[in-house]
Amino acid sequence: MNRHRWTAPALGLLVAGALAAPAAAADIEKALPFVADDYGKALAEARSQKLPLFIEAWAPW
Amino acid sequence: MRAFVFTDPALTSRAGQFVWLEMNVDDERNAAHRERLSVEALPTFFVLDATDESVVMRREDGMTVAEMDAFLEEAGRAASGKGASSPAEAALLRADRLNGERKKAEAAAAYREALDQAPPGWPPYGRAVVALLFLHPSLNEEAKCLALAREALPRLTGSPASVMVARSGLDCALGLPKDEAGRVAAVAEMEAATRKTLAPPGVGAAADDVSSSYLSLIQARKAAGDAAGATRDAEAWAAFLEAQAAAAKTPEQRAVFDSHRLSAYLELKQPERAVPMLEQSEADLPGDYNPPARLAVAWFEMKKLDEALAASNRALPKVAGPRRIQVLQRRSDIFAARGDAAAAREALAQALACAESLPPGQRSERTIQALKKRLEAPPAKPER
């Protein structure tokens, strides 16, 4: 099974899964106003605005 | 996803419907959240009810813009607490909640119930199938996974989801016990289905999905003892990724394909093909550890150990968290191949120290034990 579990093609293991975003992708201009790596801040905003919280779990590899 | 989907203006209208959080799971600040949410694959997307932080919906794997838009539409409706409009939708909402709580067996049963009650043309059908196809293998239910792929493929013909469904069927067929009757036929059937989803003009699936399917095809050819066929598929894989990279509009978009391209070139035993792209990425993205870390791999495979060490030297100051362990392990391999056993051991010791320093959610006991085992082993003989 090649899929789904913590794939690490970046360092040469012959497994694949989601294509990796470069670290610089964090700085890409997005169409949506993402909060970066601050769960508490995002949760507080969601509560105050009475909105659901969308989370993208990713890694730069 | 990050370089393509979230940059698409088609999603702009969703901006005010959610609060948006991007969570780098390699960042120590996110370790506890990663653990609580049981992130097992990347990317994984969640929609949480902010009042109690319960997971309303969870989806693993990449999506196209259209699939993301549909996911957000459904998630927004689910989070609003509006009741289900049909038995199938009620079962799906329950399944999503259970999946969010990682009650996998219960979630799988609820997805099965939703699919059994799904009317023809039910819009969430593909998403429910994909969710269940993720769950079955994690419950060691390869036969159920295969059966679901067979059942769903006719209903999803021509849709982006068909790529993942066929590939899952193939992966699950390959995962059946080797002596199981029907395994060979199932692999052949799902391999053919997977090839069909990749045939021109394609079905508009995300590049992640297509790329992963090539790897499954390679594994299927290897399982059949067909090395030449595996090489042909690896060539097709590399060509697909090169075309995607050539069409990228930004360096970030192009570099997205580096990891899989390197894997394809290594599969072809042509690591030298990775060097120009990685040197370009290193120049374009000077703060990113990935290009020099991948160059260390490529140079190492080419037995260019001085270049490999130089690349490792450039990567190391830029990498932190769990990925630093891999960089240090490769560094150890490079030193060992150069005949410097002391430096190889020192790099492994640093990797172990790094692994032991990680917080829960990032810490892996399996990795720690593997590193300890390597440190206890006698030094490897140099390769040259």
Residue B21 distance to chain A (closest CA, Å): 5
> Residue B206: its pLDDT value, please?
87
> Residue B370: its pLDDT value, please?
96
Distance from C-alpha of A14 to C-alpha of B60, rounded to nearest angstrom: 20
Q: Shortest CA distance to B329 belongs to which of B313, B349, B315, B314?
A: B349
Interchain contact, A16 vs B19, CB within 8 Å: no
Task: Judge whether residue A23 has pLDDT over 70.
Answer: no
Task: Judge whether residue A12 has pLDDT over 80.
Answer: no
Mean pLDDT in consecutive groups of 10 residues from the start of chain B, 384 residues: 79 95 92 90 92 92 88 90 86 93 95 96 92 95 97 95 96 95 96 96 88 96 96 98 94 92 97 98 96 98 98 96 95 97 97 95 93 86 54
> Residue B163: its pLDDT value, please?
95
Interchain contact, B257 vs A14, CB within 8 Å: no
Which pLDDT tens digit goes with each residue over A25-44?
445 566 799 999 999 999 99
Residue-range domain boundaries for chain B: 1-128
A interface test, pick of B19, B168, B295 with most A CB neighbours within 10 Å: B19
Tell me, yes or no, if B208 comes closer than 8 A to chain A by beta carbon: yes
Residues 6+ apart with CB under 8 A from B325: B351, B354, B355, B367, B371
Tell me, yes or no, if A48 comes closer than 8 A to chain B by beta carbon: no
Rg of chain B on CA atoms, in Å = 22
Distance from C-alpha of A22 to C-alpha of A38, rounded to nearest angstrom: 20
Taking the whole predicted model, whether its pTM rises above 0.95 is answered as: no
B:221-280 residues touching chain A, CB 8 A cutoff: 250-252, 255-260, 262-263, 266-267
> Which residue among B9, B48, B76 places its CB closest to the CB of A31?
B9
Three-state secondary structure call for residue B351: helix
Interchain contact, A49 vs B19, CB within 8 Å: yes
> Residue B85: its pLDDT value, please?
83
Residue A17 distance to chain B (closest CA, Å): 6
Tell me, yes or no, if B317 comes closer than 8 A to chain A by beta carbon: no
Which pLDDT tens digit goes with each residue over B96-147?
999 988 899 999 999 999 999 999 999 899 999 999 999 999 999 999 999 9
Residue-range domain boundaries for chain A: 9-49
Q: Does ipTM come in above 0.85?
A: no
> Which chain A residues are Cβ-neighbours of B45 within 8 angstroms?
54-57
Centre a 10 Å sphere on the Cβ of residue B67 and count the other Cβ atoms it contains: 22
> Which residue among A14, A55, A56 places its CB closest to the CB of B48?
A55
